[in-house]
Amino acid sequence: MNFNELKNVKVRIADGIAWVSLNRPEKRNAMSPDLHFEMVDVLKELAEDTAVRVLVLSGEGDSWCAGQDIKLFFRDLDDKPRERHLARLANHEWRWTLLSSFPKPTIAMVNGYCFGGAFVQLFACDFAIAADEALFGLSEVNWGILPGGLVGKVIVDGLSYRDAVYYSMTGEQFNGKKASEIRLVTQSVPAAELREKTELLAHELAKKNPQTLRTIKESLRLVRGMSVDQAADYLLAKEREMRFLDTERGREQAMTQFLDEKTYRPGYGAYQRNEDAGANQPKESS
């Protein structure tokens, strides 16, 4: 896929990190049908790209994403059922299906406005780092509409019920610091440090065993909807699956390093992966 041909999305891959940004800054990165179609292709491509170990989702300019494009996604499609259906499918496919099950860690780097529909991809990412100055809002109520298209579901699942109700019924805006306080994002940092902090986390994740990371994220997402008995059985099956699929044999390596070679204390960092041997030597003190 030639990323340079994309009109609504920018992709740059460096040091194992895929930097993906919505690229409609003049419309505050509001999501048009064409942006949805492009993102479906981009995520499918990056999922299988062996040069990519972590994905960062951001926005060009001073906005992360101002939600659905009110004109192109809503009003222009009102009388076009076929186009509306295809746009809705793509919209759901990349923001939820492909992103939440992306086989590598994903980080939302929230550089600015995050409104309405943008909450879906925010929750679909494994991590979210926001600028203190970023502005969040469940503004649907101000349009006379519901936080639909999965927004209502992700906020109830991901926030406290009180916060989900408060912010969706008032439409009140809040900044990155508040987003961190209510655990909508993992962390909030001054805008000037946003990229550096995101890169640090991405590099840390890129050092870890990819199969282990993949299994952890798949498992945590799915056990939320299971009973205790189902979760216990499922996690055991995933553990066995991981040992079967892990070509780096991380579990065996870690045990050898801890029990026999005495070169490793797990409390201090990741086990020494083959390509990274020595990078995580046990430290004298934590």
Q: Contact positions toward ligand COA, by CB under 6 A? A: 27-28, 30, 66-71, 113, 115-117, 139-140, 143
Between 68 and 209, CB nearer to ligand COA: 68
How far apart, in whole angstroms, are the C-alpha atoms of residue 219 and residue 6? 33
Residue (116 or 210) nearer to ligand COA, CB: 116
Q: How far is the CB of 119 from ligand COA (least distance, A)?
A: 10
Judged by CB, which is closer to ligand COA: 173, or 263?
Answer: 173
The nearer residue to ligand COA, 149 or 250, going by C-beta atoms, is 149
Residue 274 beta carbon to ligand COA: minimum distance, rounded to whole angstroms: 47
Residue closer to ligand COA, measured from CB, 105 or 116:
116
Q: What is the 3-state secondary structure (H, E, C) of the chain?
A: CCHHHCCCEEEEEECCEEEEEECCHHHCCCECHHHHHHHHHHHHHHHCCCCCCEEEEEECCCEEECCECHHHHHHHHCCCHHHHHHHHHHHHHHHHHHHHCCCCCEEEEECCEEECCHHHHHHHCCEEEEECCCEEECCHHHHCCCCCCCHHHHHHHHCCHHHHHHHHHHCCCEEHHHHHHCCCCCEEECHHHHHHHHHHHHHHHHCCCHHHHHHHHHHHHHHCCCCHHHHHHHHHHHHHHHHHHCCCCHHHHHHHHHHHCCCCCHHHCCCCCHHHCCCCCCCCCC
Closest distance between ligand COA and the C-beta of residue 62, in Å? 7
CB of 271 to ligand COA, least distance (A): 44
Q: Given the complex with ligand COA, which of 66 and 99 has the nearer CB atom?
A: 66
Least Å distance, CB 140 to ligand COA, is 5
| Residue 63 beta carbon to ligand COA: minimum distance, rounded to whole angstroms | 6
